Amino acid sequence: MSHMKATIRSVSVELFFKKGYFATSISDIANGCGIQKASIYHHYASKEDLLFSILKGTMDDLTDCLKTSLAGSDDVEQQMRAAVRSHVRFHLERQKETFIANSELRGLTSEHHKIIVQKRSEYERVFQNLIQEGGEKGVFAEGDVKILSYAILTLCTAGATWFKPDGRLSIDEIAAIYDGFIISGLKQSA
């Protein structure tokens, strides 16, 4: 990826995060890059292509991150803890991209939309399998797998909405809080 192409990408992430995809114009992006808007089209085929490439890259990295973090153990509870922490960390470290990935899906063409949704389904399935396995082994209480997986994922994902990088708590502290909260909820002592 050329230097300017990377610049366009990062300026777009910044603007899509701050103003939203539809409220950001190609001129805005070009302006932020210090070039003319026609030059954008030398690097990206369309505005939608730009959005898609951001979303796809982010989803791929997210998936890789999860796979790496699961490789260390084969104990269900430890794996769930690792998965939660990986999920939280990624969403807070790359807050802007993940926020976009969760709020701007409607900007995609239907084919691109399908691709991203499928990637997300595969990602969710990892968590669902862990909940299922944990339930069968008696590590977690029995419960509705889908609802619980949505609960866990959206919980962490939403962090990207309110997180302030220079706030009171560090990413690892937040990850630890979520980790504890979720594992308690899955064990369902109440």
Partner DNA sequence: CAAAATCTACCGACCGGACGTTAGGGAGAT
Partner DNA sequence: ATCTCCCTAACGTCCGGTCGGTAGATTTTG
> Considering CB distances under 5 to 8 angstroms, the limit depending on partner class, which of its own copies, DNA, none binds residue 123?
none
Check if the beta carbon of residue 168 is closer than 8 Å to that of residue 90: no
Cα 78 to Cα 36, 54, 71, 84, 134: the distances in Å are: 51, 31, 11, 10, 11
**Binding of DNA by 4 (CB under 7 A):** yes
Do 62 and 90 meet the contact criterion of CB atoms below 8 Å apart?
A: yes
Task: Provide the minimum distance between the beta carbon of 7 and its own copies in the complex, in angstroms, as a whole number.
Answer: 24
**Interface with its own copies (CB under 8 A), residue from 19, 67, 125, 137:** 19
SS3 label, residue 94? coil
**Helices within 104-170 (DSSP H only):** 110-136, 145-162
Which CB atom, from 109 or from 161, has the smaller least distance to its own copies?
A: 161
Q: Which does 151 bind (CB under 5 to 8 A by kind): its own copies, DNA, none?
A: its own copies
Q: Which does 16 bind (CB under 5 to 8 A by kind): DNA, its own copies, none?
A: none
- 135: how many CB neighbours lie within 10 A of its CB? 17
Residue type present at position 161 = T
- Reference 103, options 111, 92, 93, 95; nearest CA is 95
The residues in 74-113 that bind its own copies, with binding defined as CB under 8 A, are 103, 106
Site string for DNA, 21-60 (x = CB under 7 A): ---xxxxx-x---xxxxxxxxxx-xxxx------------
Q: Which two tokens stand for residue 89?
A: 């960390």
Residues that bind its own copies (CB under 8 A): 19-20, 22-23, 103, 106, 143-144, 147-148, 150-151, 154-155, 157-159, 161-162, 169, 174, 177-178, 180-185, 187-190
